Amino acid sequence: MSYFTQQKTFKTLLFLFTFFYLPVCHCHVQAQILDHSWRHIVLEMDEDWYGSKDAQDIADYVLLYQKDIGGWYKNIAMQTPLSESEKDELKKSKSKSKGCTIDNGATYLEMLYLSKVYKHTKNEAYKIAFLKGVDYLLEAQYANGGWPQFYPLKEGYYTHITYNDGAMVHVMSLLKDLSQGSETLGITLDEATRAKTEMAFKKGISCILKTQYKQDSTLTGWCAQHDENTFLPAKARAYELPSLGGVDTAQIVLLLMSIDNPSDEVKRAVDAAVVWLEKTKITGLKEERYTTDDGKKEKRYIQDPGAKPLWARFMNLEDNTPFFCDRDGIKKASIMDIGRERRVGYAWYNSQPNKVLEAYPKWKKALKPTPKNSYNITVAQDGSGDYTHIQDAINNCKSFPYDRITIHIKKGKYLEKIHVYEWNPKITFIGEDKAETIISYNDYFKSINLGRNSTFHTATVLVEGNYTHIKNLTIENASGPVGQAIALSINANACIIENCNILGNQDTVYLTGEHHKLWFKNCLITGTTDFIFGNATALFTNCEIKSKSDSYITAASTEKHSEFGFVFQNCTLTATPNVHKVYLGRPWRYYAKTVFLDCNLGDHILPEGWHNWKKTEAESFGFYAEYNNTGPGAETKNRVNWSHQLSKKEAKTYTTKNILGINSETEWLQ
């Protein structure tokens, strides 16, 4: 008899049992259901079975249950045969996406199952549905890296970042395999989607690190759910209060320990969590289930010196003491103080953290030691260098060094937000290959969501250390045309950016500091609107400035007493196809100064050249000028009357010495 014939017979018998035999045979029926649970079918069948006709029939049901948005509802026995009318109803309800979730293994289990069946059958329908699931998971992720329990969002505690029952960990494990091109799933992604899954995983890790709870500044573990805005432990159901959880922490730590070449921040998180798990383990306690004299199921905990350690499901945030709750939400110190329904029907203790404690020594031993040469450091994603993450290398640099530190960065795409702190001056970053050594992140104004100044938190690379030198790298904000999104932000003095690609859209490069002086040499800078902006003095020599939309190149906010603002010398202004209406600049603040000398201006530059941003005061207070430019956009007869054409004598004042205060770059690179 085939599996499906058995299932149809089972449905018929279940109907009869419900009316005639349920009081007597209830336990037997439940046993049959558990024997054929959806989770068991996805995770525990023999590998060859997934290529069978029965497996494909179930996969076809999984396709029917998938909603147009790409996700699935929870708590559905996907293996249960469907009548024709039931199939028709599912087809009609495809657009009903509210209810799609990652809770209780939903979406994750369906995707995993489809991948297993596809691996054996190569049925494209299963792959297409799986890829829709990937798109759903990517869309459901918060900009801060977390996942809600339901997407589309469902009001209530369902919007919290959800670690409960491994929801987010399962999603991230799936994305991790996909981002690494793992063959275990049998499905590989195109490069663009693979890159998205890699970024989603990185942001997920960032979220996990931000939500790790601190007790008096000491890192501990995690809660089952965290507020999506504050990252603090949050309440779910009445008996699921803000707390720390052993099982949730264990699942997260096992995920962190699976990362190849983990960052220092990940290492610290794991170390702290292991210390906390050791501190909170309960020894000598064993769960015992039994039936009372009146036939009711019960459980109790008895002393047993040989029992494996256990951890409470809920621990107080202040002191880690376990607590228990009925549906009234009132904390109780003992499990025997709550009613039988909650006592028996809920897992209040768990032994899963033992897996962490068993794996931790081996994980710790495999970690790479700190490099011996602290002035000459190599970063390589494959583990062949001193560090695998650029930020880790920065974090381990000497503060305020007397000599220059050089960080060599091997080829690769580093999905990191980089911060060169004020106490990390005199660092040179040298990429192995400009085109293939890429620092990329995708924060933007709305994703940061910190109010009107969110723009300044979006930078992929933020430099605050004086005398920073960046060479042979690509720095990009990969968020796309979604508003303000900085690729490179510099709030430091005497920095040189050399032979780099700086890629973005609106607000690509932010340069700030009234007395800060910066030098860009032989760089490509791309963007749409105001993509070079700020109040620092900056010299651009032999750079390509590429406009990607009809808009404005510069938005200077030069300070009133600064002699120079943005100066472009021997630069080439280009544009992508279909871009024909670009202004050289406009004043972000009244005293803005921007000058182009000996540059080649493409035909995308408008005849009027400059725009006043509806600030008539800026026409007299600011200074916009040109000298000896060439190209179709250099014609000056129709320039706005408040701009200037420098004389030869005036142009001679625009020297490196006058603008930056140095004769050569070596004065800043010592």
Residue 100, φ and ψ in degrees, nearest 5: -65, 140
Contact of 533 with 509, CB cutoff 8 Å: yes
The string of pLDDT tens digits covering residues 259-318 is 999 999 999 999 999 999 999 999 998 888 888 888 888 888 888 998 999 999 999 999
> Distances in Å between the alpha carbon of 88 and those of 57, 61, 106, 456?
16, 12, 22, 52
pLDDT band at 341 (very low <50, low <70, confident <90, very high): confident
Give 552-574 pLDDT, tens digit per residue. Answer: 999 999 999 999 999 999 999 99
User: Average pLDDT, stretch 204-218?
Assistant: 96
Are the beta carbons of 512 and 532 closer than 8 angstroms? no
Residue 3: count other Cβ atoms within 10 Å of its Cβ.
17
Pair of tokens at residue 360: 């931790």
**With pLDDT > 70 as the criterion, what percentage of the chain qualifies?**
95
CA 50: distance to chain centroid? 33
**For helices 124-140 and 53-65, angle between their N-to-C axes, nearest 10 degrees:** 40
Q: Residue 79: is it exposed, middle or buried by C-beta count within 10 angstroms (0-12/13-18/19+)? A: buried
SS3 333: coil
Q: What is the pLDDT of residue 10?
A: 42
pLDDT at 183 over 80: no
In which residue are the tokens 């064993």 written?
286
Residues 6+ apart with CB under 8 A from 509: 486, 487, 488, 489, 490, 502, 525, 527, 531, 532, 533, 534
Residues 6+ apart with CB under 8 A from 12: none
pLDDT classification of 632: cutoffs 50, 70, 90 = very high
User: What's the pLDDT at 369?
Assistant: 78
The 10s digit of each residue's pLDDT in 219-232 is 999 999 999 999 99
Q: How confident is the model at residue 181 (pLDDT cuts 50, 70, 90)?
A: confident
Annotated active-site residue in 54, 248, 443, 530: 530
Does 592 score more than 90 pLDDT? yes
Say if residue 34's pLDDT is above 50: no
In 3D space, the residue among 432, 408, 238 whose CA is nearest the CA of residue 330 turns out to be 238
Q: Does domain 37-199 have CATH number 1.50.10.20?
A: yes
Q: Is the pLDDT of residue 170 over 90?
A: yes
User: What is the spatial distance between Cα 575 and Cα 544, in angstroms, rounded to a whole number?
Assistant: 10
Domain limits of the chain? 37-199, 212-367, 399-622
Residue 4 has pLDDT above 50, yes or no: no
Q: Which residue has the higher pLDDT, 610 or 374?
A: 610
User: Which pLDDT does position 11 carry in this prediction?
Assistant: 43
Band (36; pLDDT cuts 50, 70, 90) = low
Nearest residue to 570 via CA among 546, 601, 547: 601
Which H or E run contains 332? Answer: strand 331-332
Can you give the C-alpha Rg of the chain in angstroms? 31
- Measuring CA to CA, how many Å separate 649 from each of 568, 605, 645, 653? 17, 26, 11, 7
Supply φ then ψ for residue 245, to 5 degrees: -125, 135
Count, in order, helices (H) and strands (E) of the chain: 18, 36
What CA–CA distance (Å, rounded) separates 138 from 564? Answer: 45
CA distance 175 to 171: 6
Rounded to whole angstroms, how far apart are CA atoms 488 and 504? 9
Average pLDDT estimate for 376-405: 94
> Do β-strands 474-477 and 437-441 pair in parallel, antiparallel, or remain unpaired?
parallel
Cα distances (Å, whole numbers) of residue 204 to 99, 171, 224, 260, 419: 22, 10, 15, 15, 19
One-letter identity of residue 11: K
Whole-angstrom distance, CA of residue 147 vs CA of residue 341 = 30
Pairing type for strands 376-379 and 418-420 reads unpaired
Closest to 278 (Cα-Cα) out of 184, 360, 392, 339: 360
CB 317 within 8 A of CB 244: yes
Please report the pLDDT score of residue 287 as a whole number: 85
Q: State mean pLDDT over 568-594.
A: 97
Nearest Cα neighbor of 105 from 15, 170, 57, 17 is 170
User: Crossing angle, helix 167-179 and helix 191-211, to 10 degrees?
Assistant: 140
Asked whether this chain's domains 212-367 and 399-622 adopt the same fold, the reply is no
129-to-133, 187, 580 alpha-carbon distances in Å? 6, 11, 42
Domain 212-367 annotated CATH 3.40.630.30: no
- Residue % of the chain over a pLDDT of 90: 85
For residue 9, the model assigns a pLDDT of 45
Q: What is the pLDDT of residue 28?
A: 36
pLDDT at 429: 98
Q: Which residues are paired to 222 by β-bridges?
A: 245
Q: Has 88 been annotated as catalytic?
A: no
> What is the C-alpha separation between 428 and 340, in angstroms, rounded?
65
CA nearest neighbour of 268 among 416, 375, 396, 380: 396
Identify whether 294 is a catalytic site residue: no
CA 274 to chain centre: 24
pLDDT exceeds cutoff 80 at 27 = no
- The Cα 6–Cα 79 span in angstroms is 11
pLDDT interval class at 2 (50, 70, 90): very low
Helices (H), 71-166: 84-92, 108-121, 124-140
Identity (one letter) of the amino acid at 584?
Answer: L
Please tell me which residue in 507, 550, 598, 603 is annotated as part of the active site. Answer: 507
The mean pLDDT value of the chain amounts to 92
How many Cβ atoms from other residues are within 10 Å of residue 259's Cβ? 15
Going by CATH, does the domain composed of 399-622 fall within 2.160.20.10? Answer: yes
Q: Which of 125, 118, 137 is nearest to 187 (CA)?
A: 118
